[in-house]
Structure 1
Amino acid sequence: MADDPATPHAAHYWYADDPSVVEVLEAVRRFRRADQEMRRRLSAGMDMNETDLQALQLVIATESRGGQAHPRDIAAHLRISTASTTKLLDRLTASGHLVRGVHPTDRRSVVVSSTPHAHQEIRERLERMHAAMAAIVRDVPPDARPHVRDFLRAMAAQLDTEGTVAPLTPGPAR
């Protein structure tokens, strides 16, 4: 009875009219859980917290695009205070993953750069996984890839636009 869409406790009652929608959304949820768990394992394996790992990934991604990362960029990306960013940078500098430097044209500004050690550790831990993921993408027919890309971008955009949700209210006393 719990799977009956007419009952208020149905597992997918708000979109149960189309089983294929349920299957796709469940696959998205499974992927998100697996991604979160992989990031948790990766950060634990590198002996750093997930926020530190996200900061390191941001710096490396910024550099790969030819840019320079600044502490304020890291704070904004992670939605943390400047004080928390300073502590984070202190940890990643002490561990040899990042270095702080003076901006080449604005001596008042600080830039944050990744170290060869950081690149080596990220490569050792992610290269095999990225190759496997690329192989999975290659299995998707080339004419379907733009649809998959657009789907994932639309899902990400939807999640990015979701605001805070009101807390649950207590039900009637029993």
Structure 2
Amino acid sequence: MIRASGDIRAALARRLGIGPTDAAAIDHLVASPDPLGPVELGNRLGIRSASATTLVDRLVQAGHVERTPHPGDRRRVALQVTDHAFTQVVEALSPMLTGIEQAVDRLTPDQAAATTAFLREVTTVMRTYATPTNPPPP
């Protein structure tokens, strides 16, 4: 599944006509529960500040992302995926999501419960691994 995740991101980039880093940026922006600014986005992507600025400029120019005032700090900028880009992502992922829904529909209630428990446990392990034990200073 981990390899498939990278393949999915590459396929999404191809379907949207953007590069893999652009697709990863959109993925992070859509998935983040909190507003992300250019610095946070760059940190999540593992790229330097100048590269993050270039990336954001490119996404804004293409109409995929817009800069908005940060809801918690008026001195900062938050990045938001545009409605048009979000619709494009959903449409591009639709065949895969339909296939997943069909696979879920074929599970018995016991299989669904076991699968849910397994996936929750794996998710916890993955998040624990991804969380730095000694976060870098701000």
Match of 1:166 in 2: none
Partner Cα distance (1:112, 1:161) in 2: 27
Match of 2:134 in 1: none
2:23 to 38, 53, 67: 53
1:109 to 59, 76, 90: 76
RCO comparison, higher one (Cα < 8 Å, 6+): 2
Q: For residues 13-52 of structure 1, what are the structure 2 equivalents within 5 Å?
A: 31-52=1-22
Q: Indicate how the Cα distance of structure 1 residues 32 and 107 shifts in structure 2: closer, same or farther if over 3 A, else same.
A: closer
Higher helix proportion, which one? 2
Q: Indicate how the Cα distance of structure 1 residues 150 and 89 shifts in structure 2: closer, same or farther if over 3 A, else same.
A: same
TM-score by length of 1: 0.62
Identity of aligned residues (%): 30
Mark the runs of 5 or more structure 1 residues left unpaired by the alignment: 1-30, 163-174
Count of aligned pairs: 129
1:139 to 90, 106, 111: 106
Mark the runs of 5 or more structure 2 residues left unpaired by the alignment: 131-138
CA-to-partner distance for each residue in 1:24-48, whole Å, 9 max, x for gaps? xxxxxxx444443232122122122
Q: Which has the larger radius of gyration?
A: 1
Contact 2:64 2:85 in 1 (8 A): yes
Say which SS state the counterpart of residue 112 (structure 1) adopts: strand
TM-score by length of 2: 0.76
Q: For residues 161-172 of structure 1, what are the structure 2 equivalents within 5 Å?
A: 161=129
